[in-house]
């Protein structure tokens, strides 16, 4: 199927932030746009906002004046819903209420041509449910944009049970023609992004709850080691805890209380107290007096070790060996060494495998043990996380810190929580992505694209799992499940299958 022709009109119902953004994108792609809002002045006001947004693009040299005038000229505010009668595609961006959306689509079905496509921008309501009472439910599709619409590339094309596959293909091609990155998904709770992203918040909240570290330090680690653009706590403050908590509760309820989506009591307390984040002036952090980004906890400077022994199979830390050598530290290779690094023959450093350092040191024959959290790229990461076993001494931790400080990295010391924070988050993101694929919600390629384009992850979760090894992901999740005794960390059947088959996820 081809995209909806640019010669054909697109109707947009709802002229708020999302609706006006959709109207702008459709008009920029060449469509006549019919914009309607229940507020008599809403569509006209929205066109004014679009004009201001386009003016800023002209000022920045990203759009010419004539092009701006053409885009604005294609947007026609409408006084009545009936004015959308010639639209080939209608996109609703109204309140997230099932009854309201059903009523709107029932009205549109009587106004638009029989072959017109009815698209909903819902982020959480079943497309199947929205279409259920219509005469032509096969024409209904989800077209879920992300805010701000003109800037965010992802569009989730959501098929309900009745959606005609040709309609899904047309909307997919239309979104691509509008310069977006569309992905196909079935209408299941959370679709792709709002489902797969839950562990990004949930695991950080759990580490905070267990005293692993403070919010500012966890954020810094997720940015500077994990490579994420924002940490989970600053992102929740930006989204608003009322919104973020409501989405988590919605997904949790929709999956019948699956432990994987359990809401956080810490976040519930913030919502109950009105600490909603930036919008209220306070969330995890203060915003009223513009204090800036809070400082993370960073270890003081220590002396580096004189020598480091490495395994003959150095794994993920292999790329660091050149930097260690450049720092003047003697490197010795020891065949069969279980730890990733051993410092001065007495302090072992191992990448976390989902167990605590204290447990590992109790069951493994190793010297004093420090666990290292995952990093997107250990050579470019500017911060690393260490956690010491309870059996170790402060001097052991100082020696381990000194090694990474000699490599130009800041060190944050966490309490000995299983899986630390980057590793457990990445493994849970990969696990949820794999479950979405296993359950036929989307393809492996689409889930990775959705998380990169929709929430700006540095890697797709499945690509990240392949980079660090599916066997490692399965091991971390299994150890977390053992540590906590919870179904929350059960391993996806798809990950289990690929682990046993040594197969690729992508």
Of 109, 121, 126, 144, the catalytic one is 144
Q: Are strands 307-311 and 330-334 parallel, antiparallel or unpaired?
A: parallel
Is 456 part of the annotated catalytic residue set? no
Give me 437's structure tokens: 């694929």
pLDDT digits (tens, 9 = 90+) for 158-173: 999 999 999 999 999 9
pLDDT digits (tens, 9 = 90+) for 24-74: 999 999 999 999 999 999 999 999 999 999 999 999 999 999 999 999 999
Torsions phi, psi for 385 (to 5 deg) = -115, 135
pLDDT at 452 over 80: yes
Percent of the chain surpassing pLDDT 90: 95
pLDDT at 366 over 80: no
Count CB neighbours of 387 within 10 A: 27
Contact assessment for residue 133 and residue 102, using Cβ atoms and an 8 Å cutoff: yes
How high is the pLDDT of residue 242? 96
> How many Å from the N-terminal Cα to the C-terminal Cα in the chain?
26
Mean pLDDT confidence for 250-259 = 95
Mean pLDDT confidence for 78-86 = 96
Separation of alpha carbons 458 and 422, rounded Å:
13
List for the chain the helix, strand, coil content (%; round to 5): 45, 15, 40
C-alpha 372: how far from chain center: 23
pLDDT digits (tens, 9 = 90+) for 107-145: 999 999 999 999 999 998 999 999 999 999 999 999 999
Percent of the chain surpassing pLDDT 70: 100
Q: How many residues comprise the chain?
A: 506
pLDDT digits (tens, 9 = 90+) for 194-217: 999 999 999 999 999 999 999 999
Could you tell me which of 485, 467, 261, 299 has the C-alpha nearest to residue 387?
Answer: 299
Q: Which domains does the chain have, with CATH numbers?
A: 9-187 (3.40.50.720), 196-212+214-293+422-506 (1.10.1040.50), 307-414 (3.40.50.720)
How high is the pLDDT of residue 115? 95
Could you tell me which of 386, 407, 369 has the C-alpha nearest to residue 297?
Answer: 386
How high is the pLDDT of residue 69? 96
pLDDT digits (tens, 9 = 90+) for 280-297: 999 999 998 877 788 999
How high is the pLDDT of residue 365? 77
Residue 322: band (very low, low, confident or very high) from pLDDT cuts 50, 70, 90: very high
How high is the pLDDT of residue 1? 61
Contact assessment for residue 424 and residue 214, using Cβ atoms and an 8 Å cutoff: no
3-class secondary-structure state, position 500: helix
Is 144 part of the annotated catalytic residue set? yes
Q: Maximum distance among all alpha carbons in the chain?
A: 79
Residue 420: band (very low, low, confident or very high) from pLDDT cuts 50, 70, 90: very high
How high is the pLDDT of residue 312? 84
How high is the pLDDT of residue 314? 78
Of 92, 109, 156, 203, the catalytic one is 156
To which H or E segment does residue 332 belong? strand 330-334
Torsions phi, psi for 374 (to 5 deg) = -65, 150
Is 156 part of the annotated catalytic residue set? yes
To which H or E segment does residue 403 belong? helix 394-406
The number of helices, as runs of H, and strands, as runs of E, in the chain is 20, 15
What is the DSSP track for 177-192?
HTT-EEEEEES-TTTT
Mean pLDDT confidence for 382-402 = 97
Q: What is the DSSP letter of 489?
A: G
pLDDT digits (tens, 9 = 90+) for 173-200: 999 999 999 999 999 999 999 999 999 9
Q: How far is CA 454 from CA 84, 271, 350, 365, in A?
A: 30, 25, 33, 45
How high is the pLDDT of residue 211? 98
pLDDT digits (tens, 9 = 90+) for 436-451: 999 999 999 999 999 9
Q: In what order do the strands lie in the sheet with 330-334?
A: 330-334, 307-311, 341-343, 347-351, 368-372, 383-388, 410-414
How high is the pLDDT of residue 25? 98
In sequence order, which residues have a C-beta less than 8 Å from that of residue 242 and are 6 or more positions away?
271, 276
How high is the pLDDT of residue 336? 86
What is the DSSP track for 304-316?
PPSEEEEESS-GG
How high is the pLDDT of residue 288? 87
Of 121, 159, 187, 194, the catalytic one is 194
Is 123 part of the annotated catalytic residue set? yes
| b/e code 333-343 from CB counts within 10 Å (16+ = b) | eeeebebbbbb
Q: Rg of the Cα trace of the chain? A: 26
How high is the pLDDT of residue 268? 98
User: What average pLDDT is seen over the chain?
Assistant: 96
Give me 43's structure tokens: 């569509």
Global pTM reads: 0.95
């Amino acid at each position: 199927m081809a995209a909806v022709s640019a010669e054909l009109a697109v109707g947009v119902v709802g002229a708020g932030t999302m609706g006006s953004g959709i109207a702008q994108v459709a008009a920029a792609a060449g469509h006549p746009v019919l914009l309607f809002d229940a507020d008599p002045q809403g569509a006209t006001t929205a066109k004014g906002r679009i004009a201001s947004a386009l003016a800023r693009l002209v000022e920045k040299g990203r759009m010419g004046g004539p092009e701006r005038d053409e885009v604005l000229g294609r947007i026609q505010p409408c006084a009545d819903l009936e004015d959308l009668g010639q639209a080939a595609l209608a996109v609703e961006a109204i309140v997230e209420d099932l009854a309201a959306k059903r009523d709107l689509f029932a009205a549109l079905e009587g106004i638009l041509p029989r072959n017109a496509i009815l698209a909903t921008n819902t982020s959480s309501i079943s497309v199947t449910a929205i279409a259920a009472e219509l005469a032509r439910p096969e024409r209904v599709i989800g077209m879920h944009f992300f805010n701000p619409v003109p800037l965010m590339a992802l569009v989730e094309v959501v098929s309900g049970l009745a959606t005609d596959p040709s309609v899904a293909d047309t909307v997919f091609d239309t979104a691509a023609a509008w310069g977006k990155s569309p992905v196909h998904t079935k209408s299941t709770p959370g679709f792709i992004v709002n489902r797969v992203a839950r562990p990004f918040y949930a695991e950080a909240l759990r580490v905070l709850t267990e005293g692993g570290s403070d919010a500012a330090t966890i954020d810094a680690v997720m940015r500077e080691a994990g490579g994420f653009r924002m940490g989970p706590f600053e992102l929740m403050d930006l989204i608003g805890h009322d919104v973020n908590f409501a989405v988590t509760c919605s997904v949790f309820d929709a999956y019948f209380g699956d432990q994987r989506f359990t809401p956080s009591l810490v976040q519930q307390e913030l919502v109950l107290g009105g600490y909603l984040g930036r919008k209220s002036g306070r969330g995890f952090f203060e915003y009223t007096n513009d204090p800036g980004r809070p400082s993370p906890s960073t270890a003081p400077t220590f002396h580096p070790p004189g020598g480091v022994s490495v395994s003959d199979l150095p794994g993920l830390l292999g790329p660091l060996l050149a930097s260690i050598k450049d720092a003047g530290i003697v490197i010795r290779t020891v065949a069969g060494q279980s730890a990733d690094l051993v410092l001065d023959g007495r302090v072992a450093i191992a990448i976390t495998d989902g167990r605590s350092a204290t447990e590992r040191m109790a069951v493994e024959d190793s010297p004093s043990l420090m666990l290292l959290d995952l990093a997107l790229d250990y050579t470019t990461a500017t911060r690393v996380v260490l956690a010491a076993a309870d059996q170790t001494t402060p001097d052991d931790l100082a020696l381990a810190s000194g090694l990474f400080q000699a490599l130009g990295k800041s060190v944050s010391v966490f309490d000995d929580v299983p899986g630390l924070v980057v590793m457990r988050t990445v493994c849970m993101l990969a696990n949820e992505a794999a479950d979405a694929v296993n359950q036929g919600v989307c393809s492996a390629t689409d889930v990775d694209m959705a998380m990169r384009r929709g929430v700006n992850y540095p890697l797709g979760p499945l690509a990240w799992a392949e980079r660090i090894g599916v066997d490692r992901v399965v091991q971390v999740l299994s150890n977390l499940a053992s540590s906590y005794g919870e179904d929350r960390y059960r391993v996806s059947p798809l990950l289990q299958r690929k682990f046993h088959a040594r197969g690729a996820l992508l």
